[in-house]
Amino acid sequence: MEESIFCLKHGESTKCSECVTEQLQADSKNLKEFARRVINAGCWESCELDGGDLQELAKKLGLIVPHIATEADIDDEPEYEVGDTIYRFSDVLNGGA
Ligand SMILES: [Zn+2]
């Protein structure tokens, strides 16, 4: 999926390959940190995996993004109410194969 991004850093109006590379490196770093944390807490520290902590970490690392629930969301996920904040996978996790 090609998208046009205005690069403030390099002053280009098209997708800047340098910025794309930087973004991929940042995504990779965040995913690695998340994986390390999950393996550490889930496997090596006698199952001290806490859902709330994981969600905070995933949010901090840009792996999930908040979304305000609408009527359409409630149809799919009746446990929520309109206006609730629900989290969705970010583009980092949705992109790629
Ligand atoms: Zn750039």
| Mean pLDDT of the region 35-58 | 84
Cα 7 to middle of ligand 1, angstroms? 5
Q: Identify residue 78 by its one-letter amino acid code.
A: P
The confidence score (pLDDT) of residue 79 equals 86
Cα 26 to middle of ligand 1, angstroms? 14
The label of the residue with tokens 């996978």 reads: 89
Cα 10 to middle of ligand 1, angstroms? 4
What tens digit of pLDDT does each residue of 28-45 get?
A: 999 999 999 888 888 887
Q: What is the mean pLDDT of the chain?
A: 84
The confidence score (pLDDT) of residue 23 equals 86
Cα 25 to middle of ligand 1, angstroms? 14
Q: Output the 3-class SS for 12-57.
A: ECCCCHHHHHHHHHHHHHHHHHHHHHHHHHHHHCCCCCCHHHHHHH
Total H helices, total E strands in the chain: 4, 2
**pLDDT of 63 strictly over 80:** yes
The confidence score (pLDDT) of residue 1 equals 46
Domain spans, the chain: 17-90
List of residues 6+ apart from 19 with CB closer than 8 A: 5, 7, 9, 10
Cα 83 to middle of ligand 1, angstroms? 36
**pLDDT of 15 strictly over 80:** no
**pLDDT of 2 strictly over 70:** no
Cα 6 to middle of ligand 1, angstroms? 8
